[in-house]
Chain A
Amino acid sequence: MFKIAHLYPKELNLYGDTGNVYYVKYFLNKFGIKSGIYEIGIGDVLDDTYDFIFAGGGPDSLQNKIYQDFLTRKSFLIKHIHRGKPSLFICGSYQLMGKYYLTADKKKIKGLNIFDIVTKSPPDQKHRLVGNSIITLNESVIKPNYNFDTRIIGFQNHNGRTYLNSKVKNIGKSKNLYLGNNDVDYGEGLLFKKTLCSYLHGPLLVKNPQLAYYLLYDYLKNKKKVPMYNFFAEYISHKNILLKNES
């Protein structure tokens, strides 16, 4: 049984992020692999029996609520990530994977320091980075080995600007300078082994099954499952959104 840990689903669930864990379950089922979704709340046990970790983003008030508990998960997360096990962190949880988050009133909130990144929030809330994003995948880090679009799509809405140390790789380049990790470079998200961090909210993996494929590829290979799957329905939806955002 493939175990999917969904961290803080009650607090970090800003906009359809939950769809990602259901898609992992659905995706594996297509290969005949049974999986279970386990909701991990504040104080719940999180051990190395989990195969996939997911955490989303939430409103500031709820992120504050889980903050202390999330910090206690550091050693487990480092082990999981460095072993090359798949995980996905969206928006708020992505920001907390870095060194710190500098709030608009210059308060420094310590992160888990798993990745060499920092996030800073400008004083003016009016300049949130909001909109539909098209990201061209960084082919040096993701090489889709099947016939699928190398662009991913998603929707983002955040105030914090995340800056990656030059050694940290992003997922790809945003079409729009004002969307992505920040408003000074075109990079979006972060990729390390089989861990993806992104600002793209909602059912990211459903909208972009190539990311689910990338995250689960090694697992499928180990299980000697032929990594082939017909993404037709997801593909049509993906194309539809791409066309709308390009027009």
Chain B
Amino acid sequence: MKIILYIISYFFIFIKILKVNLLQWGDGDTFAGYILEKTQIDFLSLFFKSVNSNYIFVTGTNGKTSTVSLINHILKSQNYSVLSNSTGSNLKRGILSAFINNLPKFYSKNPDFCVLEVDEASVPLILKSFPKNKIFSLMVLNLSRDQLDRYGEIDTLVVEINKSLKFFKNYNLILNKGPFFKHFVANPILVKKHILNNNLQNILKIKQYSHLSTNLDFILTLFDILNIKINLSSLSEFSFVAGRGSLYKKNNVSYEIHLTKNPVSFDNNLLYLSGKEYENILIFVNDNIPDGRDVSWFYDINYSYLKKILKNKSVYLAGTRSYDFYNFLNILNIESFNLFNLDNSFDFFKKTGAKKIFVLSNYSATMEIVKCLK
């Protein structure tokens, strides 16, 4: 079976090269997964069965991509081989693509670790394909209201994750003692404030109010379970994925991009912003498929933070749902100016001679702005 999977991997890598380099159609990252997902064969199950490794699944509403990329960095710095969907494509097709794109690297030797970021709603689907006799670790970083159109109620999501865990005997479920803790299956591993957390926060320059400060305890708990010591000196070389506070410059204007995709991350970024010098804030919100088509979540942002923190700032809006955000701020009596799209925004900031822009953008908006600024 394994040889067939390798042949399929090589075939898709060839297609990807053809598609991206010759035809210049998209980035091709999840193309293979998209095609395999359409077939009647459970390819994911075949990959899980064929690739023997230490499986680590990371899920939760906020901070998955950063957590996975930090775990990968720590493991790689200690010469462990890792197969991962580190680009953040965390639906079934993204995980399938991670296997396809990486399998040739692991032809002679299985990866030491498979670190996979999994969308919260996809956890039951992924575990359904996972061999019931294999061991895995599942980290549920946090759960809060996100896209209602995909996840439904969090209660329902927890029920579904629990149902899928009942088929397994050996797994490490790593949880924080949050509001949903008691609803999970018995005997999870509880995350506690780790002695190394503050050291790591300082080395990684993690911003205050970031989810990553809590998620570090998950990482430290995981490494305790795996019995791997973290080499702190290697962490100084680590950099976060684009959009998590990354800085860019265009036309002499600096842009600091913060992914802000749900009420909790919006509130956290507002709190972070409260102590900063920024005068200009660009709120950039789309409603493309990865963002969710419904943007009612705006109305779950903390109103008093918004009023307090955006007061006396210049607030600009862009994106496919900028009108909705304009209405929202208007109702709260917060003045804003709709620039509609990115081109207008770049022109406007250039003409007005703005020096720094603090950008709060949801998922597809972050991808869009980073692509333009890179």
Contacts and interface: CB of A to CB of B under 8 A. Distances in A.
Contacts of B303: 22
Interface in B286-308: 287, 293-294, 296-300, 303
A16 B323 contact: no
Contacts of B314: none
Contact of A130 (B149, B159, B297): B149
B331 A236 contact: no
Interface string B135-148: 00000000001001
B296 A201 contact: yes
Given A26-B331, A233-B326, A236-B323, A19 B296 contact: yes
Nearest to A19: B299
Interface stretch (B61-69, B150-158, B216-224): B150-158
Contact of B153 (A19, A25, A60, A233): A60
A135 B331 CA distance: 24
Interface in A124-141: 125, 128, 130-132
B294 A18 contact: no
Interface in A7-32: 13-19, 22-23, 25-26
Contacts of B297: 15-16
Contact of B155 (A17, A22, A59, A130): A59
Given A203-B299, A236-B323, A19 B152 contact: no
B331 A22 contact: yes
A16 B299 contact: yes
Contacts of A18: 299-300
Nearest to A24: B331
A16 B300 contact: yes
A19 B327 CA distance: 11
A51 to B, nearest CB: 19
Main secondary structure of the interface of B (DSSP, over half): helix
A211 to B, nearest CB: 15
Interface in A66-125: 125
B148 A155 contact: yes
Nearest to B151: A157
Interface residues of A, number: 32
A201 B145 CA distance: 14
B328 interface: yes
Contact of A237 (B153, B156, B159, B323): B323
B332 interface: yes
Given A203-B296, A206-B327, A234-B327, A14 B156 contact: no
A157 B151 CA distance: 10
A240 interface: yes
B88 to A, nearest CB: 24
B324 interface: yes
B330 interface: yes
Interface string B308-341: 0000000000000101101110111100000000
B323 A157 contact: no
Contact of B154 (A16, A19, A59, A202): A59
A61 interface: yes
Contact of A202 (B155, B296, B323, B333): B296
Contacts of B330: 26, 233
Given A19-B299, A206-B328, A14 B294 contact: no
Given A22-B332, A59-B154, A157-B148, 10 more contacts: A14-B145, A15-B294, A15-B296, A15-B299, A16-B297, A16-B298, A202-B299, A203-B328, A206-B331, A241-B324
Interface of A: 13-19, 22-23, 25-26, 59-61, 125, 128, 130-132, 155, 157, 201-203, 206, 233-234, 236-237, 240-241, 244
26 contacts: A14-B148, A14-B153, A15-B296, A15-B297, A15-B300, A16-B297, A22-B299, A26-B330, A26-B331, A59-B153, A60-B155, A61-B155, A128-B152, A131-B149, A155-B148, A201-B296, A203-B299, A203-B328, A206-B299, A206-B331, A233-B323, A233-B327, A237-B324, A237-B326, A240-B323, A244-B293
